[in-house]
Amino acid sequence: MKDEIQLGLLNKISKIIDELKAEYDIFEDVNKEKILNEISKISSLNFNNISDEELVKRIKSILAIEAMSGILKDLSKEQIEIFNEDIK
């Protein structure tokens, strides 16, 4: 029963990721399978108590972090220093 609930939730999250990737170009290179794999490792996948709107918001935040880390890995040391100074 728990596996069915978890699978249903992961399918729902997968659809949300697809929708967000279609809506926002910045998420284009985010690896959906990696995110789903990491989320599936969470033993307490109980998102039943949150609204769909809140779930989308949380998934969007995860995608934003992934996108940002992908952008930052391509920067040179000098570019990272400039970035760090700009966000202080």
How many whole angstroms separate alpha carbon 87 and alpha carbon 65?
15
The better pLDDT of the pair 19, 87 is held by 19
Which of the four pLDDT bands, split at 50, 70 and 90, describes residue 5?
low
Question: pTM of this prediction?
Answer: 0.74
Buried b (16+ CB within 10 A) or exposed e, 38-66: ebeeeeebebeeeeeeeebeebbebbeeb
Whether the per-residue pLDDT at 1 is higher than 50: the answer is no
- Of 13-17, 68-72, 84-88, where does the model show the most confidence? 13-17
